[in-house]
Amino acid sequence: MKCLIKYCFILSSFLICSFSLYKAAPAPIRWVVMKGGSLKVKGSTNINTFACEITGYSNPDTILVYKSPVQEGNIPLQGKLGLSVKLFDCHHAVMTADLRKTLKAKEFPQMKINFVNLERFPALSGKESKVRGVVDIELAGKVKRFTVNYTFRLDNQRNIQLLGERTVNFSDFGLTPPRKLGGMIQTDNELNVEFNLTLRPFN
């Protein structure tokens, strides 16, 4: 009987210590994507350069930031952007049509950017904070993971201005760069992708 009482006492002490040490995971920080964001792709051919963009992004998206006081080197994110490929505008009718066709806009109407993580939480102030992060980009039915260079800055309204930049290739998504005039005009494989977002912190 004494052994049983002693065992119960030890077990109870262990459970009390366990519960006292346990701390619930902190609630994620919410960054609400505000209207007016944009996505731009820049490329070149053997004779000139071009820039195509989607402006006025207005989907009501939210990015969740799972920040922990003891966490280092990996801040998980949850959230994605869905952009209509048919909204790409190259400010030249033929070039716009060629890009949409190359990106298979009819078969795969959306380009998606899924946020995965940040290497560290940005120093949000009026000064720029450079941080790298990981995203999954889905385009033309293919998903590819990339490391993105971010620039964070807090504006006068206390909103977060976010610039993300990454160089990708048409071939990353199984696409062939457009060609014209029997191959005389050839688009380079490489594209520079740049997206600008305004985020409102909401806790």
Entry pTM: 0.82
Would you kindly state where each structural domain of the chain is located, as residue ranges?
25-202
List pLDDT tens digits, range 111-145: 999 999 999 999 988 889 999 999 999 999 999 99
Q: Which two tokens stand for residue 182?
A: 């029997």
User: What topology is assigned to 25-202 in CATH?
Assistant: Lipocalin (2.40.128)
**The residue to which tokens 């807090």 are assigned:** 154
Q: Please check the confidence at residue 174 and state whether its pLDDT lies above 50.
A: yes
**Among 20, 106, 111, 98, CA closest to 59:** 111
Average pLDDT over all residues of the chain:
85
What DSSP letter does each residue of 33-67 carry, written as one string? EPTTEEEEEEEEBSS-EEEEEEEEE----EEEE--
Whether residue 201 contacts residue 31, with contact meaning beta carbons closer than 8 Å, is answered with: yes
Distance CA 5, CA 22 (A): 26
